Structure 1
Amino acid sequence: MIGRLRGTLLEKQPPWLVIDVGGVGYELEASMNTLLALPGIGETVQLYTHLSIRDDAHLLYGFIREAERALFRALIRVNGVGPKLALAILSGMEQEQFIRCVMDSDVKALTRLPGVGRKTAERLIVEMHDRFPHWAAAPDAGQAAAPPSTARGHDPLVDAEAALVTLGYKPAEAARMLSGHETGLSTEALIKAALTRKLAG
């Protein structure tokens, strides 16, 4: 089981990234919250990981905080929630915000997340409500967010739209979520702004 990786960040193409560890490039999928906290290309990064083994693939997921990985693992134990939907949930709202929605039985807020309909939202509330009273909601110490960087040679707007589609939004909806944002933002910042707008809407 691969539980943690420390190496050089080679590529960052949301929601994917590649880390070089001793000459081996590990490809991981990460939430937007993790991607926003990563340093620039070529710098050292450490991520907590979760390995998902399927018949057709071994998939590795990366998390900047151990608490985010713990929530991811709790989510995929919910009936009907797989790794892709769990990652979309973690990308769509902060951990503390998600816990608050569950504790307050806020179905409406949860259904704003891609792939989360009313029945899934209700299932999340029912199955996770009792887990959170003692949940460590505070961020891990020493994990300050680093400024996002833009991958060279990519159009941030195009990459942001592709990432939102990967998270489960329809292309037209992704385009609407990104419309009107100021130019010059990195891919990660555009995605975060679009998700924040969607959640607030």
Structure 2
Amino acid sequence: MIGKLTGRIEYRSEDHVLIDVRGVGYIVYCSDRTLAGLPGNGEPVSLYTELLVREDLMQLFGFPSLLEKEWHRLLISVQGIGAKASMAILGTLGAEGVGRAITLGDIAAIKAAKGIGPKTAQRVVHELKDKAPGVMALGGTLAQASGQALPEVIDPDPDPAPSPAPKSAPRANAGAAAQSDALSALSNLGYGPSEAATAVAQAAQDDPEADTSGLIRSALKLLAPKD
């Protein structure tokens, strides 16, 4: 199983890139959002990958973070959501956006992805809503791991400089870590996973740039008893 590729971009198409890893080219399919955040041809790149295997097909899908890869794995577990639909949803919302939409029950946000109808969007929210708090809680761990080398990494030639993470990864990792820390703090205060996740997701949606302290303050206001 190939879990991560590190190499140089040989060329890019509208839905995939060819990554040269020590002379071996890997075709990796990515969402529009991920493709937009990748460097140019000839530049170093690292992507986490998921291998799709069928009787007549083998495809690699690439993600800038482990959090996005985890959401992809959950999305394709929903009936009617294949790899293409998952990439469309992630391309439209990003990993954090998917988590917020599912936690808040925002069917319209999921439906905004190309090729996703209202019934499918409703099924995604219904089947994954209970799993969203767990993914949010793992956000900090996954973000930290995204900056570390994994046993599955395939290294490029030793001469080039170390490959940086895709441009979109650092901000996504920071946001995921802040949400994870805020969720942990609320759990320590006695709030249940579901209500804590909903409050943190709403706070993050209201202020995408908020740090952990800001998310906690906003979430506590949302959780405060209403007169």
Q: TM-score normalized by structure 2?
A: 0.60
What is residue 156 of structure 2 aligned with on the other side?
Answer: none
Residue 42 of structure 2 corresponds to 42
**What pairs with 1:110-149 in structure 2 (closer than 5 Å)?**
110-136=110-136, 137=139, 140=143, 143=165, 145=167
- Counterpart of 2:46, as a letter, is Q
> CA offset at residue 92 of structure 1?
1.0
- Measure the CA separation in 2 of the matches of 1:111 and 1:4: 30
Query: Tell me, what secondary structure is at the counterpart of 1:130?
Result: coil
In structure 1, distance between residues paired with 2:112 and 2:43: 35
SS class of match (1:39): coil
CA RMSD of aligned residues (A): 1.8
One-letter amino acid of the structure 2 residue matched with residue 72 of structure 1: H
Residue 51 of structure 1 aligns with which residue? 51
Instruction: Report the Cα distance in structure 2 between the residues aligned to 1:19 and 1:52, rounded to whole angstroms.
Output: 17
Verify: 1:98 aligned to 2:120, yes or no: no
Relative to structure 2, which stretch is displaced further, 136-145 or 105-114?
A: 136-145
User: Which amino acid is 1:67 matched to?
Assistant: L
Equivalence map 1:1-201=2 (5 Å): 1-136=1-136, 137=139, 140=143, 143=165, 145=167
Q: Distance in 2 between matches of 1:3 and 1:110?
A: 27
Task: Give distance in 1, aligned partners of 2:7 and 2:121.
Answer: 37
Q: What is the percentage of aligned positions where both structures have the same residue?
A: 38
Per residue, is there more helix in 1 or in 2?
Answer: 2
Task: Report the Cα offset of residue 111 of structure 1.
Answer: 1.6
Unmatched 5+ stretches in structure 1: 147-201
User: Equivalent residue of 2:62, what SS?
Assistant: strand
CA distance in 2 between counterparts of 1:109 and 1:19 reads 32
* Deviation sequence 1:18-54 (CA, Å, 0-9, x none): 0011111111100122212212211111111111011
Cα distance in 1, alignment partners of residues 118 and 132 from structure 2: 21
Between the aligned partners of 1:39 and 1:140, the Cα distance in structure 2 is 20
TM-superposition CA deviations, 1:99-157 (whole Å, max 9, x none): 211112122222221121111111101110001113234683555626xxxxxxxxxxx
> Do the aligned residues in 1 keep the contact of 2:45 with 2:166 (CA within 8 Å)?
no
TM-score (norm 1): 0.67
Partner of 1:173: none
Question: Which secondary structure does the structure 2 equivalent of 1:134 belong to?
Answer: helix
Query: Residue 130 of structure 1 aligns to which amino acid in structure 2?
Result: D
Maintained 8 Å contact 2:9/2:18 = yes
